[in-house]
Amino acid sequence: MELWYTEEWTDNVRFSIKTDRHLFSGKSEFQTVDVFESKEYGRFLTLDGLMMVTEKDEFIYHDMIVHVPMATNPNIKRALVIGGGDGGTVRELSRYSTIEKIDMVEIDKMVVDVSRDYIDICACKLDDSRVNLYYEDGVAFIKNSKDKSYDLIIVDSTDPVGPGEGLFSVDFYNDCYRVLSDDGILVNQNETPYFESYAREMKRANNKISSIFPITKVYQAHIPTYPSGHWLFGFASKKFDPIKDQNREAWESLNLKTKYYNSDIHVGAFMLPQYVKDMLNED
């Protein structure tokens, strides 16, 4: 019998992957956690029936959430990841020898444990000596963090429902601003603009961040297993413009081998389709 993983992208659209094995299924205090194995996408992790990472396309999301801010400010030394339990964001950050501290705050320990057991391609750097893991709510963690204690905050969260909801609130973004250094950068995953229900959330998050940070921009990537495949990220900073201040030379001198990110796509990713620009500009 064929086994298919099917996820509802909207009430009227579904996405399916033929799977070979259902490797793990569990229920934590916060969500249901599943891992499947498939021919096309390798192993993949889902939370509450929504795709988080696949072995085949995780590099796109993790490259774009990490290297865009790092190539804008090569002096980032103290990084905070909120969510990100699969470990992919920490893995990419750990490639920078200039980073001294990587704190990761994941609300659900089960996600980290399961990723360590089944998705090693992402979790492989969680034991780096610079990494500190905290199992708590990112909203509370940041509320209790000292002013200007991080140079980079990456919100690698689930969607704005369930445990992820507070990570899309004005209070949370205000705390991010307070906790970031004067040349600090905030990056968050920002949903798809293509389907209306997700786009509404993206627009709301963007309005909130723009009311707090002087520099805000939206950039995009093609992520085949996320709804519609067209995904957005938010970039916010007190000082740096990601295009004008892109430090091509410094980043290229590091010789990091990346599979999606490069210095050209850094700029190209900020060139948005007209319908997305219109959406962001409308009141």
E strands along 67-206, which residues? 78-83, 101-105, 131-134, 150-156, 180-189
Phi and psi torsions of 17, nearest 5°: -130, 130
Name which position in 57, 86, 151, 175 contacts ligand SAM (CB under 6 A): 86
Pairing of strands 180-189, 13-27: unpaired
Min dist CB 257 to ligand SAM, Å, is 21
Q: Please give the Cα distance from 181 to 193 (Å, whole number).
A: 30
Nearer to ligand SAM, 69 or 83 (CB): 83
156 belongs to the binding site for ligand SAM (CB under 6 A)? yes
Among 48, 137, 201, 245, binds ligand SAM (CB under 6 A): 137
Should residue 224 be labelled a site residue for ligand SAM when binding is judged by CB under 6 A?
A: no
Question: Considering the rule CB under 6 A, would residue 175 count as an interface residue with ligand SAM?
Answer: no
For the record, the structure tokens of 190 come out as: 């920002």
What's the CA angle centered on 260, arms 255 and 266, to 5 degrees?
A: 80
Residue 216 as a binder of ligand SAM (CB under 6 A): the answer is no
Distances 107 to 40, 115, 247 between C-alpha atoms, Å: 30, 14, 34
Which is nearer to ligand SAM, 43 or 246 (by Cβ)? Answer: 43
Rounded CA-CA distance 90/123 in Å is: 8
The yes or no reply on residue 189 touching ligand SAM (CB under 6 A) is yes
Count of residues engaged in binding ligand SAM, rule: CB under 6 A: 25
- Is 156 annotated in the active site? yes
Query: Which of 17, 52, 180, 232 forms a contact with ligand SAM (CB under 6 A)?
Result: 52
Using CB under 6 A as the binding rule, the residues of this chain from 30 to 49 that contact ligand SAM are 47
Please report how the helices 170-179 and 196-210 are oriented relative to each other, as an axis angle in degrees rounded to 10: 50
237 SS3 class? strand
Q: Is 164 in the site for ligand SAM (CB under 6 A)?
A: yes
- Looking at the Cβ atoms of 155 and 240, the one nearer to ligand SAM is 155
- Pick the closer one to ligand SAM by CB: 141 or 215: 141
Cβ proximity of 168 and 204 under 8 Å = yes
User: Which spans of this chain sit near ligand SAM (rule: CB under 6 A)?
Assistant: 47, 52-53, 61, 82-86, 105-108, 111, 137-139, 156-158, 163-164, 166-167, 189
